[in-house]
A and B are shown apart, each in its own frame.
Chain A
Amino acid sequence: MFSLKTYTSKFANIIWWKLFERKRTLSARILKMRHPEFTQITENNVKEVLDSVDTVLLDCDGVLWRGEDAIPGSPETVRMLRAMGKQPVFLTNYSILSRKELMEKFTHLGYDVREEEIYSSATLAGLYLQSHLQTDETVFVLGSQGLHDEIESFGVKVAPLDSEDHVFDIQSLTETLKIDPKIGAVVVAFDINFNYRKLLRAANILSKESTHFLVTNEDPRLPSNDGWIVPDCGCLIESVIKATKRTPTVLGKPNKFAWDFISKRFHVNPERTIMIGDSLNTDILFGYNCGIRRSLVLSGISSYADVTNRIDEVKHHPNAEKWIPNYYIQSLGTIAKCLWSLGLYEPDPDGDVCSDSASDETIEDRVDPWVSQPGTSSANGICHRKEVITTV
């Protein structure tokens, strides 16, 4: 039944929605003008982007998995990339597992991967030491057993992990400290057994200037929940730097050390390569340092707002450009979804490309609704939309 109140209310809603759309469109337009490169990957451009690349470098944590769970749609996307003739390469700063152990994780989570496609920072340590140490030199490792095993798999001798009881008196320790002159390198990585005694040993081994000082990555913290801070390698590095006044060689992202090995091994054309990761500070900066395109996924560490902040910074600090990705996408699985909805790809019926569990639940938490991307839906993800709302 018609009522003035209902009519007024509906009219008000239409006006409100139109204003909302106008502001959203205007904001997105302004954003694109400020930084034309920062483009969402959608059904409109996904084919064009994929046709322009042969090699896809993929970060792991926050892109392929979170902790021990695969991110929905990611295994499907990796299979699809391979089916399209793309070469995936997996590049992670994670140093805890050897390549063999990482393969087991990939397989367990449903990924189709070859061992030689995996470059963890443990692998990079092995590669570096293999080419820089003399055959009789050893390495002192502050890290996990997995790192120890990975380095040894490259034929490099590792000094046994120091697992002695660290209750001691500093006076007697300094009198009995013996440094093996054959130690040619120190590697600092994530190490829950890090302690003062190891720090003392590392500091004294590194007194010899010719000893290599390597670190796997500089990340200060691991992702964690419930308010706990879980320190990563970056903290232990600061300890060793303060105690030695030496600057380490950083093997992992954003340092481009891995690029030399990857580009030779896979005969990579930089112009036809893309780096996909979840962290501006490691993945996106790595891509910039290697001179390749880079895409941020919003299923991990960095948020949409983190990028817009960098875009704002560029006005005053042009350097901030290095942290701005060329593209962004909700998650890796969105690529497969987009191709499916374009009819370009048949998903595995047992996969999870378009199931409810594959909805991009993270985007709502992270996105400012006044600067929303085109085409987002709070319900079931892109593949269930009838149309894509475009902006400019």
Chain B
Amino acid sequence: MSRAKELTKQLLRQFVDSFDTILFDCDGVLWQSNDVISKTPALIAKLRDMGKQPLFVTNNSTKSRRQYMEKFAKLGFKVSENEIFCTAYLAAIYLRNILNFQGKAYLIGSPGMQEEFKLFDINYTGTGPDPVTGEVEDWVKIPLDPEIKAVVIGQDVQFSYKKILLAATYIRDRTVSFVATDHEGRHPHQAAKIVEPGTGSIVSAVETAAGRDALVLGKPHKFMVDLIKEKFTLEPRRTVMVGDRLNTDIQLGKNADLHTLLVLTGVSKLSDVDSNLESSDPTDRECIPDYYIESLTKLTEYLSDF
């Protein structure tokens, strides 16, 4: 149970020599909302020059890989689409390759997820606004769609009571798969001082209604790392996970036996690391990053002399 070490210039050589592959979370690490964190595009370029393989792993399910490419480009990053592992893509791959999915999915998710589902030829329904007309007594008379064999939940700003009712009723049948992109409850936007409810707040409602837990594909679960291993060489002990959230990014590192670096430009603070150290929950006590750094801007500056 060691304390996290601050990644200083002195520790830089040790850090750089410890990995070949570097996984980056995106929100709160490379950018905050639509604002790039200073010098991070240069960091990615430098790491490539040093022979490192950067990969991008995000729980944000609102964008497809193509849409992420657009965002990366807009913010000045040079990235290939096959280096992006977002949960919209994960959900589609899971249904297509793991479940070998036939039938229809009841999808609570954004246009980004819909795009990935179309790319993988997965039939879906339920997206978009579901206007509330009539009463519950009317809704429960409409016949259920017998083709629905999976309920998939991601971030959805059109989320509503009616969608909880439908999703929970479908997953009453245990042969219907129940999958979620992630379980993050909230996303604080520091600049705007606003909290955005996350997928976790949507999934919890459906789980409570149905008395059944979702299979979560995103961090901290290892599915993302397993998927990466199919496309890239990834040696866990030669890989570092860089993120801003203890319970997703750093926890993924622990689950997949990766090195971990916490950046302080996002959700988790050093006080959260201290809370984990003192927690009565053994999982929390183990969830301590190997290193922490104020921001990736600082890391870029350190590496400029490398």
Contact = CB atoms under 8 A, between A and B. Distances in A.
A231 B140 contact: no
Interface string B170-205: 001000000000000110010010111110111011
B306 interface: no
Interface stretch (B6-14, B157-165, B293-301): B157-165
A194 interface: yes
B157 A170 contact: yes
A231 B165 contact: yes
A98 B136 CA distance: 19
Contact of A192 (B62, B132, B159, B204): B132
Contact of B205 (A169, A173, A203, A235): A235
Given A242-B186, A242-B200, A242-B201, A191 B195 contact: no
B273 to A, nearest CB: 17
A196 B132 contact: no
Contacts of B168: 229, 231, 235
Contacts of B209: 220-221, 229, 231, 235
Contacts of A238: 201, 204-205, 207-208
A177 B194 contact: yes
A269 interface: no
A227 B176 CA distance: 15
B161 A196 contact: no
Interface string B118-150: 000000000001001001100010000000000
Nearest to A222: B136
A226 to B, nearest CB: 7
Contacts of B211: 220
Contacts of B207: 238
B4 interface: no
A198 to B, nearest CB: 9
A200 interface: yes
A142 B140 CA distance: 22
Nearest to B206: A235
Contacts of B208: 220, 231, 234-235, 238
A244 interface: yes
Contact of B159 (A169, A195, A228): A195
A227 B159 contact: no
Interface string A130-173: 00000000000000000000000000000000000011111001
Contacts, number: 121
A243 B201 contact: yes
A210 interface: no
A229 B172 CA distance: 8
Interface residues of B, number: 38
A183 interface: no
Contacts of B93: none
B124 to A, nearest CB: 19
A191 B161 contact: yes
A240 interface: yes
Contacts of A243: 185-186, 195, 197-198, 201
Contacts of A200: 196-197
A239 B201 contact: yes
Contacts of A174: 189, 192, 194, 196
Nearest to A229: B168
A204 interface: yes
Interface string A307-322: 0000000000000000
A6 interface: no
A209 to B, nearest CB: 13
Interface of B: 62, 129, 132, 135-136, 140, 156-162, 164-165, 168-169, 172, 185-186, 189, 192, 194-198, 200-202, 204-211
11 contacts: A193-B160, A199-B201, A200-B197, A207-B195, A226-B140, A229-B169, A231-B164, A238-B204, A239-B204, A239-B205, A241-B204
Q: What are the nearest 8 A-B pairs in CB distance?
A: A242-B185, A243-B197, A242-B201, A238-B204, A231-B209, A229-B168, A243-B201, A194-B161
